Amino acid sequence: MAAALLPLLLCTPLLSFAHDLRGPPPSPFHRRSNVPPQGFFNPTDTGGNMLTQVPVTFPAGLGEPLNVIISAFSDSDVLKDQETDGGLRNYFLSFGYASECLGQHLGDDQAANLGDGQGYLNETAVIRWDYGDPQLGSCKETIQGGAHFRFWVQNGEKADSGAIFVAASYEKPIADQHDIIYNGYNLGRDWMIGNATNQTSLIPTLNVTNQTTYSGRTSYGNYTYQTDVQYISGLLQNGSDGVNHYLTVAGNGINAVDGLVALMNVKIVERPASTSGAGHLPAPSIWLLSALVALTCPLFLSL
């Protein structure tokens, strides 16, 4: 009995692992009309909230700020949640952030209401700093902590912009229950923006104001992205009310949230000569792995 189960146990996770690395299928995004000139609908105009809901907080009901928005006027390929064809996941890789460790989802989901008529929905995904290793670096982030973000797409009928709303922060190691570091929401936003605009020095978080701009280029899989960022105020409070971990994140004159949202406009400025299969990072390892699984598992299972 045990001997018969062993190969099954060995093969099942391998199969799902191989499947997960391929990423989600492309979603059916389409060109939107009526998107406001700012590149998104303000969620609070239609019953949404710029704070997420975190499942278990003390006191209850705290949330994290949606402090980055990828504008609906970004390249339509960038707004597709896929790694192929220069899509969103390839864009994230271009500035050092990768999908979760081995396709495994760890930790509690957060929910956000983007005012698009869908109510509160769990995040689409959690994306982590990859420590220079696109394939396994996000595993290190999960354990050691670091920069990460969650994202949601504003695509419900009531506010169908296609803009992507991001909650960025910087967390402590797993051993510290992944608390957020001091000033970790504002810093998490600015380290994401600093990397996405290819800055050579840190963005001075305390000096950033309404209308500050940054621009730069990053590339991955032979796609090059031009990212233009403008900080905007008026969407988030400059304060700590209702913000998760406010006791440790704020203090000494720093509010948990400084009230600024980084609005990103992303364009693809270079593409690979031939797009077939390009930009799909783990393709060779996937085929190897799949072949290995395909070859060895039936062998095992028939034993």
Interacting residues toward ligand NAG by CB under 6 A: 55, 108-109, 122, 129, 146-147, 191, 194-195, 198-200, 202, 204, 207, 209-211, 217-219, 221-222, 224, 233-234, 238, 255, 258-260, 272, 278
Nearer to ligand NAG, 226 or 248 (CB): 226
- Closest distance between ligand NAG and the C-beta of residue 281, in Å? 8
| Token digits of residue 299 | 């062998």
Distance CA 253, CA 225 (A): 36
Nearer to ligand NAG, 13 or 251 (CB): 251
Nearer to ligand NAG, 73 or 214 (CB): 214
Distance CA 63, CA 187 (A): 17
- Closest distance between ligand NAG and the C-beta of residue 21, in Å? 16
| Residue whose beta carbon is closest to ligand NAG | 194
Nearer to ligand NAG, 8 or 108 (CB): 108
**DSSP string for 271-285:** --SS-TTTT-TTHHH
Task: Tell how far CA 153 is from the center of its chain.
Answer: 11
Distance CA 198, CA 67 (A): 19
- Closest distance between ligand NAG and the C-beta of residue 170, in Å? 6
Nearer to ligand NAG, 48 or 194 (CB): 194
- Closest distance between ligand NAG and the C-beta of residue 238, in Å? 4
- Closest distance between ligand NAG and the C-beta of residue 95, in Å? 8
- Edge-to-edge strand ranges of the sheet holding 125-129: 97-99, 125-129, 146-153, 164-171, 68-70, 257-270, 223-239, 213-220
Nearest Cα to Cα of residue 40 among 86, 89, 79, 85? 79
